[in-house]
Chains A and B, each alone.
Chain A
Amino acid sequence: MKLILEMRHHGDDVDAQHFAFTKFPVSIGRGFDNDIILNDPYVSPRHLHIEYDGETCIANDYGSENGFTVNGQSPSGRRASLKSGDALHIGQTEIRIYKPEHPVAAAAILQKGNPIFDWVTRPLNVWACFVIAVAITLCWSWLEIWSEEEGLALAGAALGTIGVIVIWSAIWSVAGRLTHHKAHFKGHVALICLYLIAGTVAWYIVAYIDFLTNENWFSHIATYGINFVMLAFLLYGSFALATKMRRRRRIISAGFFSFGLMAGIVVFTLVSIKSFNQQPIYPSTLEPFLAQLVPANTVNEYMDGNDRLFASDEFTQDKATPPAASKDTPAKN
């Protein structure tokens, strides 16, 4: 006569614990006189006990405050019978009851990784990402930056890129080592390299959107949107490699962090724009290509827009009306 109890705490990412019992009843609660002691504020000091006579298994509530559920269903009374494999929820703890003869899969099902991560973190692909990332930032630097000392500038760009990759990966590896006992250095290298590659492409997309739309609302949304998505993906991947967070929590964490950063930048920008600036702030992105593809105004159309500018909310029009001085009446002498 033996039962196996498998325990899992909600919100805990560690593997389940297993206990085997041969003597019944088994009492469960927060108090130290129980057979299973749950450090859970939602559990009463003496919560319930499990009876087993070799045939039927019954969960029996001692009269706890929060009760229990079986497979998500509240029992009709204080008692509920259990079959092998049923999940008992007490407070924030899940306890599954197994009979020894309960069948298990012939081969252990390993947790499935993300196929893209798995592919990218193959050594060859990591190296490829690394080489492409360094090459693409070198290309960007060669295209965009004019310097008297060209070789030095390129070497600086390459070293800078490699430095960012190594430092980023090293920090996350340490974090992974601490929480997970796995560094995943190559995985982090692959991630940051992909981020740099995507970032360079995004840089051009944003620059041309800014240039062609004259930095209107669409270009602002595109700029912040693209950066938000890229950073969120990077963080999601880093969390996946370095922590044992569940997927849902990874998404939420990466999303919140990235969103918070973008929101902070937006607020900072708005504050600096709204505070007094002596010089005008105007769209100034210039790119060499594609300007001929977008529609342009004639001088008359442009002047119509300039006329409308005076009616904008920025400029208080109500005060602009009555010049009191012209109403001066001549003195009667």
Chain B
Amino acid sequence: MRQYIAIISILLAAAALLPALAYATPTQDEAQRLYQAYGDAVYQVQVIDLTSKKKTSIGSGFQFTKDGLIATNYHVVAEALQRPDHNRMEFLNDKGETGPLKIEIVDVVHDVAIVKMDHPGKMWLSLGTSKLSKGTQLFSIGNPHDISFTIIEGTFNGFSKDSFVDNIHFSGALNPGMSGGPAIGHDGAVAGINVATAGNDIGFLVPVEPLKDLYARYLKLPAGYNFVDHANAHIQDQLLASQDHNINELLSNKKWESFPFGPVMVPGHIHDALKCWGGASHKEEDPFESYFSICSSQDRLFLDNDFDTGAVLFRYNYIVGKDKLNLVRFYNLYQGLFSVPQADFQNVKEGDASNFDCNSHFVDIAGFRWKSNFCIRQYKKYPAIFDMQLYMAMVGAGKKGFTVTLMAQGVSKQNALALARRFMSEIKPGKGAS
């Protein structure tokens, strides 16, 4: 599971960092040369709470234009964007100089933000390309854990295949606090932006191209446009475009792979972005056998503290009552399973979304009768965006229970409906089923 590597006034990992600092490689001299040549373009980006005067979020950033635009991650500046009245932003450079920063534009889907300093620094980086060959050496600069500016060496390893958004797989020791820092090649051109780590030298970079696109969009904004005042509308548009892209990827696949599971045929591997796994429980003392299969996307779009979106998931639970269980008891246990939802939604906090509202009915699918609940909730800041869950339990199939969960976060009304409709229509009678 990836974890965002900005974040929050924690300085506790100093000890853990020592190995990274002591990373002695043959390229040390090259790293030294690059840091001396380009290090002045890299800044620490701090979000400071106005009341407590303490840092609530830290990350890194780099100047990429002459006029003082700094690129960083959206998740580094999210606190300042979401609560502008309670926070201010500052940069800090290697010499200890500080100054204010202002948010100019953000892209929540690719986790990129552009902020501006009042007095531009003398050094800026040029934007290169991420179209590199596997094994290309990259150097990532940032300020891990607020300790000091650091340059680390790593390798470009192509793009991650397991998500709707292409990120660079970077083999290097990215650490919290380096988010938003640049990853540059030998020529000093930026290939990507540090964004996440999966631990053990597996890091992820946002390719530089979304930054170029965002910069182009920034240039088209009217002069004097205050992005922060219109941020919700912009972010909603970005989310709508992103979910349109993702759900279309699923729906445009005309032939969903399906597999027999219990009494029905159900969708299985329908897209590379959705990883599937499964399992069974055969304990002797259990009154029923249970099987499950789950496919879920790895995508999570960070929007705010404890508020992310973009996950897509479907899950099947199949239980078969053993002889020692009578039908009534079986249904009592089956109901117990169905009535406790599997905490799929932990992605918002109070105030970010409405409560769920459900439409419930019996529906006939694949020759069986299903108790079906279609539930949605609306995002408060982005009212065209919904979380959706379809949860169905097969009834009347004797001592066999089968539940289907389909969950999609951050989708439009049209896509929520289209995905649910397609999914239900893809559940087919099993071979030799009654």
Contacts and interface: CB of A to CB of B under 8 A. Distances in A.
Contacts of B14: none
A277 B377 CA distance: 11
Interface string B363-404: 111000101111111100001101001010101100000000
A330 B335 CA distance: 57
Contact of A307 (B220, B384, B417, B424): B417
Contacts of B383: 315-317, 319-320
B286 to A, nearest CB: 10
A111 interface: no
A310 B413 CA distance: 7
A79 to B, nearest CB: 73
B280 interface: no
A285 interface: yes
B391 A282 contact: yes
Interface in A283-333: 283-288, 291-292, 294-299, 302-303, 305-310, 312, 314-317, 319-320, 322-326, 328-331
A101 interface: no
A273 interface: yes
Given A143-B329, A146-B332, A326-B237, A309 B364 contact: no
Residue among A214, A282, A319 facing the most chain B CB atoms (10 A cut-off) = A282
B contact residues, range:
35 or more
Which of A215, A280, A295 has the largest count of B CB atoms less than 10 A from its CB? A280
Contact of B356 (A281, A288, A303, A307): A281
The size class of the interface chain A forms with chain B is 35 or more
Contacts of A73: none
B220 A331 contact: yes
Nearest to B393: A286
Contact of B359 (A274, A278, A281, A305): A305
A282 B233 contact: no
B420 A284 contact: no
B396 A214 contact: no
Interface in B205-241: 219-223, 225, 230, 233-234, 236-237, 240
Contacts of B219: 331
A288 B398 CA distance: 8
Interface in B319-340: 325-335, 338-339
Contacts of B333: 146
Given A143-B328, A306-B359, A280 B341 contact: yes
A203 to B, nearest CB: 12
Interface in B165-183: none
B355 interface: yes
A118 interface: no
A309 B373 contact: no
A76 interface: no
B417 A148 contact: no
Contacts of A143: 326, 328-329
A280 B425 CA distance: 23
B345 A309 contact: no
B252 interface: no
A296 B363 contact: yes
A328 B222 contact: yes
B40 to A, nearest CB: 30
Given A214-B371, A330-B220, A315 B378 contact: yes
Nearest to B362: A296
B369 A323 contact: no
B357 A315 contact: yes
A315 B385 CA distance: 11
Contacts of B429: none
A296 to B, nearest CB: 4
Contacts of B425: 299
Contacts of A314: 354-355, 357, 378
Interface string B233-270: 11011001000000000000000000000000000000
* Interface pairs A-B: 9 shortest CB-CB: A284-B339, A280-B356, A324-B233, A280-B375, A282-B373, A296-B362, A276-B350, A286-B335, A320-B383
Given A286-B334, A292-B369, A299-B421, 17 more contacts: A215-B360, A279-B356, A282-B373, A284-B339, A284-B373, A288-B330, A291-B369, A299-B425, A303-B421, A309-B374, A310-B376, A314-B357, A319-B383, A323-B233, A323-B384, A324-B233, A328-B222
